[in-house]
Structure 1
Amino acid sequence: MSLDDLEDDVGAAYADLEETDFDLDRETRQELAMLVAALDPDEPDELVRRAVHMLFESTVQSGKLDFHLRSEYGVTYDEYLSGMTFDEMTGAAGGAGVGPEENENRRYQY
């Protein structure tokens, strides 16, 4: 294979991406076409799925997801996954109107 072959494959992939179910700007379409030519997936959709997974993973690992979730919703991703806030996990939330006997009875409920 040669540079001309790569240019042809990228051009063909770029043309195929004109018919996607989602809108892509020119730069994104060009980058996706290059990836399609280089990685040769069964469908370009597979690369989009991978890209979403990679973006999600990097956003989680960098703490950006928690930052945005905390800013918008007041919780972190771990709290979302567990279904309870950190204060609820540690018992710091207390709970208005819940007496010590009720806390004792609820201690081992999950």
Structure 2
Amino acid sequence: MSLDELDDAVERTYRDLGDGLAVDLDRETRHELAFLTAALDPEDPDEIVRRAVHMFFQTAVDTGRADFHLRSGFDVTYDEYLSGMTYEEMTGAPNPPDNDGRRYQF
């Protein structure tokens, strides 16, 4: 797979999601959402779900989990997705250099 295929998959999924998303909640998730809604008192429980998606996204990017899945499925990284170019297109080198400082710290 490639960067173009990832772009197409993201755009297709974005369209498929539309403006609303119906999610069935299991008992544990419903309880956790009820607790967070009571504790944080948002105007709408949907705000808690939006925050959860943002947090999960950031965690996946920060820990390298997103890169692992992107590399496995599309042979690109999140940085390559953001720039719109693969590392090879940017530098002419086939692979990123080994980073002794490790980009992602666990």
Shared fold, TM over 0.5:
yes
**Runs of 4 or more consecutive aligned structure 1 residues displaced over 6 Å after TM superposition:** none
Equivalent residue for 2:87?
A: 86
| Higher relative contact order, structure no. (Cα contacts within 8 Å, ≥ 6 residues apart) | 2
The structure with the largest helix share of the pair is 1
**Percent of matched pairs sharing the same residue:** 69
Pair 1:39 & 2:40 matched: yes
The residue type paired with residue 85 of structure 1 is T
Question: Structure 2 unaligned runs (5+)?
Answer: 1-20, 95-106
SS in 1 for 2:22: coil
Q: TM-score, normalised by structure 1?
A: 0.64
Distance 2:62 2:42 in 1: 26
Pair 1:76 & 2:41 matched: no
Pair 1:62 & 2:63 matched: yes
Deviation at 1:21, TM superposition (A): 3.0
Distance 2:50 2:93 in 1: 40
Deviations 1:8-56 (A, max 9, x none): xxxxxxxxxxxx9321111000000000000000000000000000000
Question: Structure 1 unaligned runs (5+)?
Answer: 1-19, 94-110
CA RMSD in angstroms, aligned pairs only: 1.4
Q: TM-score, normalised by structure 2?
A: 0.67
Aligned residues between the structures: 74
